[in-house]
Structure 1
Amino acid sequence: MSLLKALHAQGQAVWLDFVARGFVEKGDLARLVADDGVRGVTSNPAIFEKAIGGSSEYDDAIRAALSDGDRSVVDLYEALAIADIQKAADVLRPVYDATGGADGYVSLEVSPYLALDTEATVAEARRLWADVARPNLMVKVPGTAPGVPAVRTLIGEGINVNVTLLFARRVYEEVADAYMAGLEDLAAKGGDVSKVASVASFFVSRIDSAVDAQLEAKAAAATDPAEKARIEELLGEIAIANAKLAYRSYEQMIVGARWKALAAKGARPQRLLWASTGTKNKAYSDVLYVDELIGPDTVNTVPPATLDAFRDHGTPAATLQRGVDEAEAALAALDRLGISLDAVTDQLVTEGVQLFADAADKLLGAVAQKRAEVLGDRINAQAIALPRDLAEAVAKETERWRAGGLIRRLWARDASVWTGADEAKWLGWLTGTVEGRAKLSDYQAFAADVKASGFTDVLLLGMGGSSLGPEVLAEVFGPQPGFPKLRILDSTDPAQVRATEAAVKLATTLVIVSSKSGSTTEPNVMLAYFFDRLKKTVGDKAGSHVVAVTDPGSSLEKVATRDGFRKIFHGEPTIGGRYSVLSPFGLVPAAAAGIDVEAFLDSADVMVHACGPDVPPAANPGVQLGLVLGLAAKAGRDKMTMLASPALADFGAWTEQLVAESTGKNGKAIIPVDGEPLGSVVCYGKDRIFVDLRLASDAASPHDAEIKALEHAGHPVVRITLRDRAAIAQEFFRFEIATAVAGAVMGINPFDQPDVEASKIKTRELTAAFEATGKLPPETPVASSGSFDVFTDPKNAEALRAAGAGADPASWLKAHLARVKPGDYVALLAYVARNPAHIGTLQAMRLAVRAHKTVATCVGFGPRFLHSTGQAYKGGPDTGVVLQITADDHPDLAIPGQTASFGIVKAAQARGDFGVLSERGRRALRIHIKTDVGAGLSALAAAVEQALS
């Protein structure tokens, strides 16, 4: 007879602390059951990590699980683990049946991350019990303070429980009480208590490891040889003594009246299970924690090496009830030495929770890696090259995020990840794709309606998050067969409004007006104009040509209801505008333009899963990007330079708003640099980080050599590769997570925008003054010529005059640009129509600045940038040198129902913007073009070149 089988005669069952797919499928477990009498199996994250991450035997299963669609990392792991547990349970089912349910169990652990959450532990245990659907399953629940009440609840529901992480006798007694209370609850409900089983997993060897270290220190300090010997006699004794006294508590419990009443109803005793029985100290016998703990109604769960050792040379004799008095004496001696066993066991519980969480992190990281390998190019690749100092900082911060569970806390909407303010109110974007799927039929019906109605154009009126995301969709996806072309208007410039109207056929145009609050100036005046034009074009059918996307109860919703709009889509109030592209603010225009919303959400979900709460920071692409951006900014590399394949170029404009508005506050910012052509290494200072977004088909693009040169020069470089344009959906979520993480690293709230509101207030004050007087308040230029007027605030005027500014605008421009120093950026902010000609002139201007000053350059069109980078220019660090460009509008354009025209609104916005820049002490100068805009911009570009030379 196997020595292991001989333990049965002593009333002890042997369980194996190991499970793996091949081990079960190839019959190894069945052989141990038959040959050695193994009667159970336990698992934990560390076991599964070795099985999944340390071999290829799960690769086919992962590939099969992903063949019908992507799934989250934790779902993927659970699918694998549950299948293994079910197969092991099936192998052990004959043992379960033969012993009448006394043995034959397989244990599966609830997530270690829930060890301090009673309700979440109960919910997960219920789910695992239902998913495994085997009567010989035991759900492992930690014996933490929150875990103990969970045990009572679960036992009371008839769920078998393996209570793990027990070190202290007093905690074991609490667990035993919870078990009996649960049985009493079950019996009171008419349940069958004979169908419930439980074990209390009492850990052994870890106690010796912890206590021995203290004993050895005491012995080393002892000067009396006799005292030293007495101390050394306790080495390797405390864990077994503690276990024997726990067993005495068990014996006392089962003779009590309370237990006898339950036993009379058929209840099974909760057996003590000796866990952590592999010998860690090589000086001790490798079967010490088996040989010394053999007794009735117990289980010893052993790792494979210990099982092999006991089979070879174990001693299957009754030892558990021997030497109990000596055990008490050993613990008393330990106490006299000033070593608190309670303190040791409390610390071991804390460490045990962390160790299990660490193991879960390794496990889920391994699954994430396997998932990425199977998905291949279905998930956008990210490669990060960093200089050594930044790489070390990122590695350190990655570990801090892992150890602190910060990505799980972020997903749990814990505001303390950031500043503890109102961040939790603004995290609806985390589950945006879930909400999108819930409304998928609405989007699909809307798309079908748009297509059937014969619209040729879709015109979206919005600002910031309401327009920049849809603009990316329009530019990246392009027109879809059979659907109208999507166009975006996000300007109050009269020329741009006219150009947009001229580009569409109003009679067959569907207008989408997007505004979360419904009170934003620009969408409201654009709607007033185009609704009036629709009424003049299609008459009473004007309302049927308009769709509103807005938050519930907004003023826009009231207007839409009053005017009979075709459809009203409600946004999610917990999603801020710049995080809203995967919400109705992006999905409604996508549907109208014929983009397959379901496929779009599928693609986005690939990155949602990759960046999920279950993916450790080192394997989480969004977290890694965020840590890199945040730490680079803290190290002075706060200019995020966006590069992209031509087909993806517009993504930078969306990223500009997300990053600048989220991080640009409290004197901090990541300044996004979009649209600046790539130059040679000599063009850049040490304040840059480069993000290159490209299509796989452009992998060998002409600027590869320049990017490699930047990397070799020590600049941080992030490369992101998309297999096709449709994969852009993934990048929206990657950058949302990254921006939230970067905000946490920088210590700011990435969901507010305090300085944007300041600009709006000044604009409203100016427009109110116009409504009252018929004109904007007068202003006096500091210099003037036939082509330009120059304006600035008194403080800037004083500084520039001291630097040589005189009567002509050129001298002011020269003095202003002379203030640019290393680490600064220059922002060219033009309140003119955004068209190719104007863009080209401003690009020439920025390149001249970069060539002469070696600083980052930004170009923004007003008022568009006010809802984007404007926050960072006002609220970020004082490193910006701003050149605001304005012009008169000839001809202007009236706004139906309002006194102010588009030109007046735009002028008020420009002056309001400049006023806040001045209040913030920014280096700002305003050049007002008095001639034709195109000619004036060209003349200004020449003046800038001259001022720099």
Structure 2
Amino acid sequence: MSLGLTSTGLEVPEPVAAQLRQDDVAARLVRKDATLWGPDAENEAAIRLGWLDLPASSRSLVTQLAQLRSELVAEGLDRVVLCGMGGSSLAPEVICRTAGVPLVVLDTTDPGQVADALTDLARTVVVISSKSGGTVETDSQRRAFLAAFAEAGLDEQAIGSRFVVVTDPGSPLAETAAAMGARAVFLADPTVGGRYSALSAFGLVPSALAGADVAALVDDAEELAERLADPGSAAMELGIALGAAFRTGRDKLALAEAGETPVQGFGDWAEQLIAESTGKEGRGILPVVLESPEAPGGSAPDVLLALVGAQAPAPGPSIGVTGPLGAQFLGWEYATAVAGRILGINPFDQPNVTESKENTQAILGAGLPDEQPMATIGAVEIRATRGLLDGVDLSSHDGLSLAMDALLAAVPTRGYLAVMAYLDRVRDARAGELRAALARRIEHAVTFGWGPRFLHSTGQYHKGGPQVGVFLQVTGAYGPDLPVPDQPYTFGTLQAAQAAGDRKALADRDRPLLHLHLTDRAAGIGQLLTILR
């Protein structure tokens, strides 16, 4: 079964599809024609189209990974922890959730969540995954596991045997892996960008080691790959639908999974692919991951609803995308590249992603900013930027509610509200309920992201896309902190610096931001949900 697309109530202007056919886009994309996105994008596109080959080229990995998994299981190493961010972690998480196999995904700097991952070490093998080899979160996690294994009594050789590394050729991590004596090192295709890497070593290595059937994933993708030169393929039609929706004013894409679909967690992966690929030069498609097809936020005038795993629901405008996970990965990647041509942007760069990272490094060097709260109500400290709370009486008993009202009122026409939670996404999972609670209050798109994870995803759209975003940042006090071995900072300091760096990037764009710091996380989340409900 390959990819299928249905639509309901979606207006597709004939010139959009006709121009793509006239320009022979389907065949040219399969031939890796780097001129498809204009002269400014040509150099980047020329070295970023390797993902089209992955259904065939990744097949050689399958046998290697099956052998490695057998060796690990025979040694009692059946707990796989993946340390990676963005494109290095989102696809494996979807693959393993869909397959129903356990994978611990560590894509955070939260001290509590990191500490929880540093347990059960006798059964643990760690996959360190970073395309650049210099991702600060992943390097910090690697250092923490090295120290934890040493503290558990393993010698240097035994410690090295607990690590599997995935990176690009020539990256600093490739050298580090050799120095560590890592058990296995997988060098990925450098012509594949992170968010297009689901079917590469970045997606397949941790998934296969956790027990997922990656051979079937590749088979399903290859079946679709054989049809991609056809201008009437479902992948092309999906790209046309995304671009046409944008052209007709529906620049928000609400992603939901059908209740009966075996695909689990797909929205988080597609969110990065679409937001980071299209959110630049003041335009883009904003993905909004819904908790269910009926969740609030899927029916605003500027929203197209996309249902993964079922037919397009009525009355629309909506699309339905069916097919197995391997075909979904390749089909959405292809469609995003096509949509990039319709939008007139380069779908392979991410010009604004480094900004928050650079801010973080500067803050780590200079020290965390001294930002006094404007008020403290219960377990919530309130801070804000850009005059957001001017005239708001925060001293009243309902000051927090008034602050939230001011935030919601600041969302402009065709704007959106982004909730950014620098918390533990396991222990503080209830914070995720804030998205739907806020979406019930306004007729605007509301997104939710765990920090710093979203910095490698929607963070590009926040800075490079249309400047109509309003932001709610939630941070929280934590219990025991953890040092980052051989670094002058802790995980708690790094997390706080990342949040502060992102606040600065948004403040520099004069975007409204409400920063709520929870002195008690559980109590503070409960306060916020009570107010919103």
**752, 756, 759: which one pairs with 2:349?**
752
The whole-number CA distance in structure 2 between the counterparts of 1:664 and 1:920 is 15
- Taking structure 1 as the reference length, what is the TM-score of the superposition? 0.53
1:5-84 pair list within 5 angstroms:
none
Structure 2 counterpart of 1:881, which letter?
A: V
Q: Could you list the per-position Cα deviations for residues 550-582 of structure 1 after superposition, in whole angstroms to 9, with x for gaps in the alignment?
A: 111111111111111101100111111111111
Cα separation, 2, equivalents of 1:841 and 1:569: 36
| 1:789 match | 381
1:492 counterpart residue number: 109
Aligned to 1:251: none
Shift of 1:831: 0.5
C-alpha separation between the residues in 1 aligned to 2:290 and 2:81?
A: 24
Where relative contact order (Cα < 8 A, 6+ residues apart) is larger, the structure is 2
Residue 880 of structure 1 corresponds to 469
> Aligned in 2, Cα 1:438/1:682: closer, same or farther, shift over 3 Å?
closer
Q: Could you tell me how far apart the structure 2 residues matched to 1:721 and 1:411 are?
A: 22
5+ residue gaps, structure 1: 1-377, 480-484, 771-775
For residue 686 of structure 1, what is the aligned residue in structure 2? Answer: 301
- With 514-523 and 749-758 compared, the bigger mean Cα shift is at 749-758
Q: Structure 2 regions of 5+ residues with no counterpart? A: none
2:279 alignment partner in structure 1: 664
C-alpha deviation, 1:841, in angstroms:
4.1
d(CA) in 2 for partners of 1:751, 1:896: 34
Match of 2:132 among 493, 505, 517: 517
Residue aligned with 1:691, SS:
strand
Find the residue that maps to 2:253 and give its secondary structure: strand
Contact kept in structure 2, 1:444 and 1:597, CA below 8 Å: no
Following superposition, the deviation at residue 809 of structure 1 comes to 4.4
Cross-structure match for 1:673: 288
Q: Is the 8 A contact 1:492 1:863 kept in 2?
A: yes
Find the counterpart in structure 2 of residue 554 from structure 1.
171
Structure 1 letter corresponding to 2:370: P
1:381 aligns with 2:19: no
Structure 2 equivalent of residue 737 of structure 1: 334
User: What's 1:620 paired with?
Assistant: 233
Do the aligned partners of residues 680 and 399 (structure 1) sit closer, same or farther apart at CA in structure 2, a change above 3 Å counting? same
Equivalence for 1:258: none
CA distance in 2, matches of 1:582, 1:814: 44
Secondary structure, aligned partner of 1:754 = coil
Q: Deviations over 1:239-292 (max 9, x none)?
A: xxxxxxxxxxxxxxxxxxxxxxxxxxxxxxxxxxxxxxxxxxxxxxxxxxxxxx
Pairing 1:861–2:454 present: no
Does residue 716 in structure 1 map to residue 317 in structure 2?
yes
Cα 1:682–1:566 shift into 2, 3 Å: closer
Any idea what the Cα deviations from partners look like across 1:75-118, whole Å, max 9, x if unmatched? Answer: xxxxxxxxxxxxxxxxxxxxxxxxxxxxxxxxxxxxxxxxxxxx
2:121, 2:97 → 1: CA distance? 21
Cα offset, 1:634, TM superposition: 2.6
Distance of aligned partners of 1:461 and 1:683 in 2 relative to their CA distance in 1, 3 Å threshold: closer
The question of 1:587 aligning with 2:209 is answered no
| Number of the residue aligned with 1:470 | 92
The one-letter amino acid of 2:4's match is A
The answer as to whether partners of 1:828 and 1:842 remain within 8 angstroms in 2 is: no
1:168 paired residue number: none
In structure 2, what is the equivalent of residue 938 of structure 1? 526
Conserved? CA contact 2:483–2:489, under 8 Å: yes
Paired amino acid for 2:342: V
Q: Which has the higher helix share?
A: 1
* Shift in Å, 1:862: 0.5
Please tell me the root mean square deviation across aligned C-alpha atoms, in Å: 2.1
Q: Secondary structure at the match of 2:175?
A: helix
Amino acid at match of 1:817: L
Q: 1:426 is paired with a residue of what secondary structure?
A: coil
Check conservation: 2:297, 2:445, Cα contact below 8 A.
no
Asked whether the equivalents of residues 831 and 861 of structure 1 are also in contact (C-alpha less than 8 Å), the reply is yes
Contact 2:163 2:182 (8 Å CA) reproduced? yes
Q: 2:59 aligns with which of 414, 437, 458?
A: 437
Aligned residues: 523
Aligned partner letter, 1:758: E
Pairwise CA distance, 1:424: 1.6
Question: Which residue type is aligned with residue 3 of structure 2?
Answer: N
Deviation of 1:609 after TM superposition, in Å, equals 1.8
CA, structure 1 residues 460+681, in 2 after alignment: closer, same or farther (shift >3 Å)? closer
Q: Amino acid of the residue matched to residue 856 of structure 1? A: A
Match of 2:509 among 906, 920, 931: 920
Return the alpha-carbon distance in structure 2 between the equivalents of residues 681 and 911 of structure 1: 30
Aligned counterpart for 2:154 among listed residues 530, 539, 544 = 539
**Is the aligned partner of 1:446 residue 2:60?**
no
Q: Distance in 1 between matches of 2:507 and 2:393?
A: 18
Q: Percent identity?
A: 38
- Structure 2 Cα separation of the partners of residues 767 and 682 of structure 1: 37
Contact 1:805 1:815 in 2 (8 A): no
Aligned residue identity for 1:716: P
Bigger Cα Rg: 1
For the 8 Å contact 1:790–1:927, the answer to whether it is kept is: yes
Task: State the partner residue of 1:638.
Answer: 251
Measure the CA separation in 1 of the matches of 2:144 and 2:214: 30
Matched position secondary structure for 1:661: helix
Deviations 1:27-49 (A, max 9, x none): xxxxxxxxxxxxxxxxxxxxxxx
Question: Is 2:293–2:307's contact at 8 Å kept on the other side of the alignment?
Answer: no
Superposition TM-score, scaled by structure 2 size: 0.93
Cα separation, 1, equivalents of 2:448 and 2:270:
14
Q: 1 CA distance for matches of 2:270 and 2:449?
A: 13
Q: How far apart are the structure 2 equivalents of 1:878 and 1:831?
A: 22
Output one character per residue of 1:573-617: Cα deviation in whole Å (capped at 9) or x when no partner. 11111111111101111221233333321111112223x22x12x
Aligned counterparts of 1:396 and 1:604: Cα–Cα separation in 2: 30
Letter in 2 for 1:674: V
Aligned to 2:32: 413
Distance change in 2, residues 1:512/1:432 (3 Å): same
Shift of residue 441 of structure 1? 3.6
> Do 1:433 and 1:605's aligned partners in 2 also have CA atoms closer than 8 Å?
yes
